[in-house]
Amino acid sequence: MTVDDLNHLAPQAFTHALAEIFEHSPWVAERAAASRPFSSVEALHEAMVAVVSNATSSEKLSLLCAHPELAGRETLTASSAAEQGSKGLDRLTGAQAAALAARNAAYRARFGFPFIIAVRGQRDIAMILDAMDRRLPADREKEVDVALTEVAKIARFRLDTVLDGKK
C-alpha cells in the first residue's frame, strides 16, 4: 500500500488500514484522515502525531495504557509480538524475565501505565533494562512526554512497514 492509496480510501477504510499503527487506538487514524491528502509517509506520521498531541489527557493516558508490558503475559497485537520478538523478549532467561517483570511492576506502580520503548533498532535487553532504570525516577509529567515520544517512534516504524514493506 502507498500513501497515495491511503489518500483515496474512504474514511472507514483509511481508519481500518491504519487502526493498529497506534496500539489499539484507531481513533488516531480516524482523526488523521481529515488531514488528507498526505504527500509522504512523513506527512502522514506528523498528522497522526499531531492528533495525539491535541488529544485530551485522558485520551493520551488511554493510548499509553493500550500498550502491552514488555514480555508481559497479555495477548499481543501482531505488530507488538514481532517487535518484542525481534529483540528476544519472548526468549528471556529466567533472570532476565524476573528483572524485567520487577521493573515493569515498579514502573506501572509509579506512573500508572506500562513502560513503553521503541524496541526496534539497536536496543537489546540490557539497553531496555538500562532505559527502565534511567526513566523510573522521572516525574510523571516528563515521563508521559517521553512515553508518547516512544509511541510516536513505534508508529513511524509501523507506518514504514505497512507502507514500504520494511521490517
Residues marked as catalytic: 67
CA-CA distance, 55 to 27, in Å (whole number)?
10
DSSP 21: T
Bond before 68 cis per omega within 30 degrees: no
Alpha carbon distances (Å) from 74 to 5, 51, 81, 97, 108: 33, 27, 11, 15, 15
Angle between helices 140-164 and 78-86 (to 10 degrees): 100
- CA dihedral sign, ordered 10, 24, 150, 61: positive
CA-CA distance, 18 to 51, in Å (whole number)?
14
CA-CA distance, 108 to 1, in Å (whole number)?
37
